[in-house]
Structure 1
């Protein structure tokens, strides 16, 4: 019985420590996360040509996404391209990690792929979400047009029956 009591007390002490650590983290708010983000942002040399090219690529891709918003088939190709590129990010990370000396000043490509996830997959997923939202709006408009046409057709049929 004493062993059970001591085990329970030990477990309660551990839980109290966990709750205390959690509340301390909650009180600190988002400060650690913002500090980590600022540290990540400052660790990158944004003047490297390949990074500038990558940012330009995203700007062009975003412009193409907005300009082609009425062409659903092209948007679906862009959507598949974006998701396929995210799918291949792990392979791209290992390839770039092995060859970083030929294009970068430092090795940004760690084993876990954090850098590539933030600067490759993140923007592509944002563009994919924009395309998805645009597709949903287009489908809603198509359903409304279809329903209006159906109501006009029914009204025409009922009018023809009365005549």
Structure 2
């Protein structure tokens, strides 16, 4: 019995060491990511009119998405438009990279499209996920309604057979 207790204590100590190492690695790995994000955030001049317009566009699109949650066809169109915006982000990045002097004070449009992915595609994907989740809830609700109607219909049929 003492051997089992000793083995269990050794195992618990090993697991505790592994958890501590994993925790310290995660903390050290997340620090550069957080620093990169803060650097990215501070490198952007948020007072530029086109950036304010872009953020306002995403805000209005989110409000329209939430307000139209009961209109499935409109939401489907919005979903397709949002995904089309993400699909054409690379082409949009190339166009904006060539013409940035016309509307911005600095070139935000790197060849990899990081900026546009974060500020254009990211919000569009979030809005698309909101629409998708809303559609799934709507479908579940419709299935429940259909099944209830089917059960009521069967109950009426069986009631009519008894008469």
1:129 aligns with 2:134: no
Equivalent residue for 1:151? 151
* Aligned-residue offset at 1:30: 1.2
Equivalent residue for 1:92? 92
1:49 aligns with 2:59: no
Q: Distance in 1 between matches of 2:122 and 2:72?
A: 23
Equivalent residue for 1:18? none
* Aligned-residue offset at 1:23: 9.4
Q: Distance in 1 between matches of 2:87 and 2:26?
A: 34
Q: Distance in 2 between matches of 1:53 and 1:25?
A: 40
TM norm structure 2: 0.84
* Aligned-residue offset at 1:24: 7.6
TM norm structure 1: 0.84
1:106 aligns with 2:77: no
User: Unmatched 5+ residue regions in structure 1?
Assistant: 1-21
Equivalent residue for 1:31? 31
User: Unmatched 5+ residue regions in structure 2?
Assistant: 1-21
Equivalent residue for 1:61? 61
Query: How many residue pairs were aligned?
Result: 142
* Aligned-residue offset at 1:25: 4.7
Query: After TM superposition, where is structure 1 displaced by more than 2 Å over at least 4 residues in a row?
Result: 22-27
* Aligned-residue offset at 1:27: 5.0
